[in-house]
Structures are given as structure tokens and as C-alpha cells.
Amino acid sequence: MNKQVTQDDIIYFVVTDRFFGRDKRTVDPSDTSMHGGTLDGILDKIDYLLELGVTTIWVTPVYENIQSNGTSEPYHYYWPLDFERIDRRLLDGTRLPDSVNMSTFGRFVDLCQARGMKVVLDMVVNHAGYRAQEHFDSAWFNVGGSGDIKGELTGLPDFNHDNPEVLDFFINNIEDWIIRGKVTNIRMDTVKHVEPKFWHYFKSQIRGGYPGVCLIGEVLLEGKEDVARLLEYQNYHDFDSIFDFPLCTALRSTLIYDESLSYWLARPRLNDGEPPGVLDDDNPLKGGYRNANRLVTLLDNHDLERRIMSHARTKHTGEGAGLDWAIRVTKLCLGALFTMRGIPQIYYGTEVGLEGWKAGDDRDLRRDFPWHVIGADHHPKHQFRKEREIYEWTRDLIHLRKGNAALKYGTTITLWSDDRIYAFLRIATDDVALVIINNGYIRMPNPIHLNLNMSVIPQRVADMITGGLKHWKTGQALTVQDGKVPVTVDGKTIDIFCRDDS
């Protein structure tokens, strides 16, 4: 089993305390105490994850954390006290050793991998927990600084990685987690707040000594104008991947809030002066990412303004038709996520339409997973219509992507782009997929005709398309007439055509 995250994978991100545990409480989201989710609890629910089809579980940090900041317990585990021990609150004694040594996390990794599930560990090097300074040398911290690098993040003690003692501690600490905790994939928190010197040391010592360890960086810059800053971490600091927040913004802005697809995603290429979309920035020869196919793509997470279903409900209010439209556009967003380039990441509960909002703090974004809606077959129960419809759609998209080389590895070629319609090909060596998004609210009144005689499409690929793509749901064969594909798509719908053997 390849233990490193690749383009074959679908990542499932959990806030461990809010997921499941032997003694877990399900309470109002406003309760900022520990709810009792554990690493053992994740193992208890691994059959659910396997049934959904995900291949990789990303867990929030496991370091021993402070007890409280005075108003909230660190249920998210981003307030470290001791970087060399697991927090005992993350263990309930049912499946893992009752030990806070790093080796206990190694056992968790072993048990996940034995079921075919990779693991990503969330790591923190930027800061300690509130009032944790006394556990470290006082010279280790930035004091009175400002800005992304030297400033404190929401008042958390900020480590100074220009100090060689700090650099040495964290490089050795990460190495210990790799060796004793069997970590092969790291999600690094708050990357843009860490002094750049640290990434030089990481690249030299960790990347050199452990080339099989995958580094995914969280750089929370969300606009398409931020791509130039984001790509520095992949291009210059040698991260395997970063999170594609600009694409997340683009999908939300277009598919939920009806902004222009050609402005946000990909330009029509009618003239050279058009503003580029997010997907136009993929070309490394034109200042883009080193490899956009390795970016981790997402619709929501634990830090953004709202979960994707809450965005949909903001746009489409009320029950009845309002809920129907919210489900429809959420499914449209998921369809885009699983057919576009990158490595898809699902935030726990998104697959059942779980909601959440940022209102002063992040607690509502981190609601408890609604296990009461899940039946013994690991599917939502029939009486939960919304949850079941979104779950089944997500599961089927995951199955499609896992069996389709074009959707996992394929080059993206834009065939059509305007305010409401976006059509693109994904082309792999022996596979091809055609995707058409209609972001309008009604069925296309007339078909659009996608040209396969473009100079960028090899004849072999055009022949594969002509030879028989079928709709992934209905099985309807794709029509090709004189080198053109006429397509008509329903409103707020994504149509996907693949080869029969995909």
C-alpha cells in the first residue's frame, strides 16, 4: 500500500472531538467543552468511511493541549502544551493502547492502513496554546510583532523560527512523529505565519531524510488574485500540495451565488485581454502552480465562513422548493469538486448536508457528526431525505472518480466557457471524460455544440469520444455529429460522460 497521499485519493477531514467516541456527548454547538470524540472512535466508524469510498482520513492535531483558555476547552486541539505527547482526552481505551506516547498514534496509523485507509496528521509549529509560554524558553517567542510572520494569531504565543533553537526543536519533533508515530502525510497548520527559514530547514532535513512523507500546507488565501502568493509554497518551499482556496471561492461564488463562470473558472479565449480564471492559472510556464493536479481541493472546512450546505440555504431559503434548490446546488458543487483537477477533500458531514456558520467564533462550523441519521448499513436512514440524497450522490461521485483515470490524472481542456455554461474535457492516456455544467436555473433552450476539431485535442482522443462516451447516471450515449458534440443540460446540473469501462 502506498502510504503517501496521491491523486488516487479522496481525503476525509474530521475534527476528532466532534466525530465519535465511546463516551461522546452530542450537545448544542454553542457548548465549547470537549464532546468526547477520540481516535478510537474514528476506528469504530471506519466501516462508514470505507462504505462512502474515501481513502484517506485527516485528523486534527493530537498533541497534549492546555485545559482551557478561560472560556473554551481546546476541543479542536490547536492549542498545544506538549508537542511530544498525545492528549489523553483523545483516547478512550477501546482500540488503542492507553498510552500518550507517540507510538500510540503509530498504532492508529497501522490499524487504518490495515483497512486500506491512509492517514494525514495535522501539525502545528507556529504557536503554542494560551498561557503555555512557561513550558518553553521565553526567548523562543516573537514579542510585540505584527503582520503574518511575526504577529500573534488570535493571541496565541507565536514561536520565532528565526531562532535556531526553535528550528532545531521542531525539525526533531517532526522527525520523532514520523519515526515513532509512523506519520507519512502532514497537514501543516497556519503556514503563512511561519518564518520562511523554517521551510528551508524542513526541505533540507525532513524532505531529504524522509522523501516518502507528503507535506500539505494550509495557506488561507482565498481570492483568485492570491494565486501568485499561494504558488510560492509549492514552487519555492517544495510543498507537495497546498489547499486550493481560490477554487473553493470560485465554486461557491458561481454555483451557489450565480456569478460568472468564465470570470471565475476559465476564460472563453475569445481574445488575449480576458481576465484569467482560477483554472487558467494552472500553467507553470505562465507563472502558475508547479503541479495544479496535486492541489487539495475543497468546498468547506473548519475555518471558512460557512459549510457549503449553509451557503446553499442562505441563497435558497425556506422548506419545500427552497430546500430542493439547496440540495440541487450542493450536489452541483460536489459534482464540480470530483470532476476537476486536484485531490478532493470532504469535510466531515458535508456528505449528509451538515450545516454550520461562523458567528463570532468557529464552534458552529464544528458541529457534532449526526450519527442518529446513519443506519446499520452505514447509509442515512430513509426518513432523512436530504441527508440520503446528498450522501448517495457523493458516494457515487467518489466511486466514479476512483474508477476513472481521466478524472484522477487527466489534463483539463476547456471546450466552452461563458457566464452560465462551462464544458471541459479531462484527458488521460487511455481515458477521457466530458463534463458540462449549466449554472442557469432552467434547461438550456437550445443545445450548445462543442467542437472536437480544436488544435489542442489529439485525434486519438476525439476518436475515443466519438467511439462511445455514456452519461454516468443514465447510460445515454453521447452524440457526435461532424466533429461536434451537441449537448443540452438541465438547470443547476452537471452532466458527466465517461467511457464504458470507466
pLDDT digits 0-9 by tens, 199-213: 999 999 999 999 999
> Per-residue pLDDT for 313 more than 60?
yes
Q: How far apart are CA 345 and CA 337, in angstroms?
A: 9
> Per-residue pLDDT for 30 more than 90?
no
Considering only the top CATH level, what class is 411-499?
A: mainly beta
Kindly report which listed range (22-31, 172-181, 369-378) carries the lowest average pLDDT score.
22-31
> Per-residue pLDDT for 425 more than 90?
yes
Residue 314 sits at φ, ψ, to 5 deg, of -65, -40
Confidence of residue 231 (pLDDT cuts 50, 70, 90): confident
Kindly report which listed range (107-111, 122-126, 274-278) carries the lowest average pLDDT score.
274-278
Return the pLDDT at 502.
45
> Per-residue pLDDT for 142 more than 90?
yes
Return the pLDDT at 281.
79
42, 104 in Cβ contact below 8 A? no
CA distances from 338 to 11, 216, 300, 412 (A): 12, 19, 14, 13
- Bridge partner residues of 343 (DSSP): 296
Q: How far apart are CA 67 and CA 41, in angstroms?
A: 21
Mean pLDDT for 288-311 is 95
Return the pLDDT at 355.
98
Confidence of residue 232 (pLDDT cuts 50, 70, 90): confident
Range(s) of the chain covered by CATH 2.60.40.1180? 411-499
> Per-residue pLDDT for 160 more than 90?
yes
Q: Which of 62, 66, 64 is nearest to 131 (CA)?
A: 66
| Cβ burial 267-282 (10 Å sphere, 16+ → b, else e) | beeeeeeeebbbbbbb
Residue 243 DSSP SS3: strand
Range(s) of the chain covered by CATH 3.20.20.80? 11-260+286-406
Q: Which of 282, 263, 285 is nearest to 410 (CA)?
A: 282
Convert the pLDDT of each residue in 453-502 to its tens digit.
877 888 889 999 988 899 999 999 999 998 899 999 999 999 999 987 64
Return the pLDDT at 272.
73
Q: What percent of the chain has pLDDT over 90?
A: 84
> Per-residue pLDDT for 172 more than 60?
yes
CATH topology of domain 11-260+286-406: TIM Barrel (3.20.20)
